[in-house]
Amino acid sequence: MCLAIPAKVVRIMDGDVAQVEIGGITRQVLTTFVPELTIGDYVLLHAGFAIQTIDEADAQETLELLTIMAQEWEGDA
């Protein structure tokens, strides 16, 4: 199943384990596939593992483009 949720890294432990927070709930995940993590990073969670880090700068860029598109749309309407 393709379900994976974004979660924020709040604690990094030994042995490829980290604690992440999603919507106020904290849980433990395996970081086998995301070896270089910093507290505050966002990761995608799937089946107990972090499978990728989320590129926040990229997300921001996409949102800025969408904001401009929406403003132009309103402008034309």
Name the site residues for other proteins (rule: CB under 8 A).
1-6, 8, 22-23, 30, 32-35, 42, 44, 46-49, 51-52, 54-56, 58-59, 62-63, 66-67, 69-70, 72-74, 77
Give min distance, CB of 29 to other proteins, in A: 9
Parallel, antiparallel, or unpaired for β 42-46 and 25-30? unpaired
Give the residue with the Cβ less far from other proteins, 11 or 23. Answer: 23
Give the residue with the Cβ less far from other proteins, 11 or 54. Answer: 54
Q: Long-range contacts: 31-39, Cβ < 8 Å, 24+?
A: 37/9, 37/12, 38/9, 38/12, 39/9, 39/10, 39/11, 39/12
Give the start-end residues of each E strand in 1-77.
5-13, 17-22, 25-30, 42-46, 49-53
Give min distance, CB of 61 to other proteins, in A: 8
Give min distance, CB of 16 to other proteins, in A: 9
